[in-house]
Each structure stands twice: as C-alpha cells, then as structure tokens.
Amino acid sequence: MLSGKTVLDLSWILGGPFGGQLLAQLGAEVIKIEPIGGDFARTVPPVSDDEDSAFFLSVNRGKKSIALDLKHPDGREAFYDLVRRADAVIYGFAPDVPGRLKIDYASLAAINPRISVAQLIGLDDKGKYAKAPAFDLVVQAMSGLMSINGEENGRPTRVGYQVADLAGGLYLALGALAAMLKAETTGQGEHVQVSLLDCQIAMLTWQAQGYLSFGTVPRAMGSRHAMIAPSEAYPAGDGRYIAISPTGESFWRKFCEAIGRPDLPDDQRFGTATERMKNVDALAEEITETLRTKTAREWEAILMEARVPAAVVNRVDEALATPVVRERGMVEEVVRPADGKATALIGSPFKFRDAPILAYPPALAADTATVLMQRCGYSHERIEALASVGAIQLAAE
C-alpha cells in the first residue's frame, strides 16, 4: 500500500518508533536514523545476552538503521541527501530542536518541496509548556486519564502500557500518511504536528464530551461501565475474573438464560436498562453469587456458546497464547540475522493482500554504508572519510 514510499525515522524510545513501524507494516521503506551510539531504547531492560532489548524489538521491525551526527555539518549534509530522495520525515525532538539542527520543515522543504514532516511533541511548541518534559505518566496524569482509571475511590492508576506514547505514534503515522497523500496529489509536502497531550484529550471522546455538554465529571469505576449494566469483570469460583458485557435487551436475556438465572429480567430492579443502572450494586451481587458456582473458563465457554459478549481476564502470557491471536499472526517467528536464531516477535495488525513480512529489527548502523551508497551515490572513500570524522557511524565488524 505504501510500497515505493521512503520514510526517514529520526524518532527514538517508543512513540515515534511505533509510528515508524506502523508505516513499515503498511509497506513503506523506513530508514531509522539513529544518533552516534544508537537509540537509547536499545539499552532499556530487559536486555538479552545477545544485547537485544525487548523494548527496542517491539517497535523497530522492518526498518533499516543508519547512524548520523546531525550536529556535524557533514552528518547533516548526508541527511539532506537522504531527504532529497525521501517522501517523509518523522521525529520526536523537543519543539526547538529541529530549528537548531536545521531539520525543521522549512529547511527540509527548501531541499525537497515534496517532503512531508510529521513531528511528535509532548505538550506544546510555545509558552511555558514547550520545554516541559512530557513522559507518558505525566501525560496520562495531565489529560485526566488517570482520574478515570483504576478502582472507584482508589489511588489514581496509570494504564498498564504507555498509552500516551503509543497513541501519539498512531496519530503520528496517520498524519504522515495524510501529508504524503497531499504531496502525491499537489506536489507539495506538509508539516503535521502531533502532541501527546492533544492525543489523550482527543481519546477521551464521549467522556470529555459528556462533561462539555452536561457538566458530568467522569470518575474511576474499576471495570464497571459508566452507562451500561451489567458490564464489568466479575469473580468466578476459581478466583479468576471474567469480563461480561451483555449490552441491550437481547443480550441481557440471553446472558440470564445462559447462567441459569432467567428470573433476573423479571425482577423489577433489573427489568430495564435504567433500572439496572440504578441498582447496579445489587445486580453485581446477584451475578457474582451465580458466577461463583463455576470457574471463569467454564463460564467463558458457556457464554461463548450462547454468543454473549464475555472473556476471561487474561494475563499477557495467556493472551499471546490464545488461538485466535496465533491464527491471526500476531505472534511471528522471525530469524535473527546475527545467528539465524528464530525469535518470537509481535505481528502486524494490518491485514491486506500484499502486506510485507517485516524483518528482525536492525543492528545499530547496520545499513549506513549501503543506504548512503545506493540512495545517495556515495563512494566507499567518502563513507570512510565521513566515519573518520565522526559524522556517521558504520556497522560493527
């Protein structure tokens, strides 16, 4: 789908590289441009004996790696030569860095008018927030997300994975796609800026709109839905939890039949959606009492057979071993080039006819020489000269 498009990925750590990997999964050639010494994510533990970081492996499949010093005039010139032959650049520097490095949109568009730049920032590009560190936890806190996550009346709770960083990467990839489409149709690229905080505010959707429209402040409710009952995770007889959400009258009645409680819909406390919400605590007690008679897996099988929306609350290892996850290729065996060892990596969520099979994440600077020779026409002598002054880094022997 993006075959023939080249993206220069200057991002690091998690959000930006995740966006770059999405573009690779859609077929783009993604060249990861790392600083001399490499992306810090390469050192985030746990790190294997082979010096592979699970953190780095998760968001850098299918990319090529070159290492440049953008502060060195020769390193920056090499980057400019790549820009001349690229379609998009993505990066996640602090807002003032691109201008200081002369890699801002205006500088790059002067070199290649068709270039698109997708920029990921933390909070804002001006005022007091421009230089504020915007770590994932901080963004979750600022956006209000932590106030609606976790148990009712409990401590503020972060989402278990870096949702602010990863959502930023999703929006970054979408922005880059739109900018490249504009260049395709008009011949002129675009600068798209994405803020981690903006993304989290946008993802509040109906909860934020509910406040704006009606003044209702959302709050943490554990797994319980704010507007639908029953819809939460209930303990079963083995202590495991099963999430059940029989939304609508049809599913509600099917659920009650499946668990052997056909009396519940006739109980005046639970006869309508409004009454179920009004009496949600009493409803939860009735359901929990019944669900304690079997294990969570037994109930899951019963409810799946009845086509009632339900699933055991899996651990991550259980989720990755789930047959449908494996059948859909969300865990893939990929060969590690260094030793030919097969390694399990996360698969692509995009399913289309010519979807690329992404290679193992690249070793640091593995492609510096090849990319500069093939894309920019550099000679071996020029590459060696650039390496000797520290403008570029070559692959380790």
pTM of the model: 0.95
Give 291's pLDDT tier (boundaries 50, 70, 90): very high
Could you confirm whether domain 232-313 is CATH 3.30.1540.10?
Answer: yes
CA–CA distance, 84 with 70 (Å, rounded to integer):
16
What pLDDT, on the 0 to 100 scale, is given for residue 51?
83
What pLDDT, on the 0 to 100 scale, is given for residue 110?
98
72 is catalytic: no
- Please state the rounded mean pLDDT for residues 325-352: 95
Report DSSP letters for 190-223, one per residue: -EEEEEHHHHHHHHTHHHHHHHHHH-PPP---TT
Per DSSP bridges, beta strands 331-336 and 341-346 are: antiparallel
Closest to 396 (Cα-Cα) out of 65, 74, 77: 65
Residue the block writes with tokens 């920029």:
119
- Please state the rounded mean pLDDT for residues 11-27: 97
The CATH number of 6-203+331-393 is which of 3.40.640.10, 3.40.50.10190, 3.40.50.10540, 3.40.47.10? 3.40.50.10540
CA–CA distance, 182 with 175 (Å, rounded to integer):
11
CA–CA distance, 8 with 80 (Å, rounded to integer):
11
The length of the chain in residues reads: 397
Locate the domains of the chain by residue range: 6-203+331-393, 232-313
Measure CA of the first residue to CA of the last residue in the chain; give whole Å.
35
What pLDDT, on the 0 to 100 scale, is given for residue 261?
97
CA angle 57, 58, 64 (to 5 degrees): 55
Average pLDDT, the chain: 96
- Tally of CA atoms within 13 A in the half-sphere of 98 that contains its CB: 23
Least confident of 104-108, 110-114, 129-133, 194-198: 129-133
Q: Exactly one of 72, 191, 225, 380 is catalytic; which is it?
A: 225
- Please state the rounded mean pLDDT for residues 56-64: 97
Neighbouring CB atoms inside 10 A of 347's CB total: 19
CA angle 128, 132, 134 (to 5 degrees): 140
251-274 tens-digit pLDDT = 999 999 999 999 999 999 999 999
User: CB neighbours of 313 closer than 8 A, spacing ≥ 6?
Assistant: 233, 240, 241, 242, 243, 296
Neighbouring CB atoms inside 10 A of 143's CB total: 22
Q: Give strand ranges (E) for 122-173.
A: none
Residue 322 has pLDDT above 80, yes or no: yes
- Residues 116, 183: contact at Cβ < 8 Å? yes
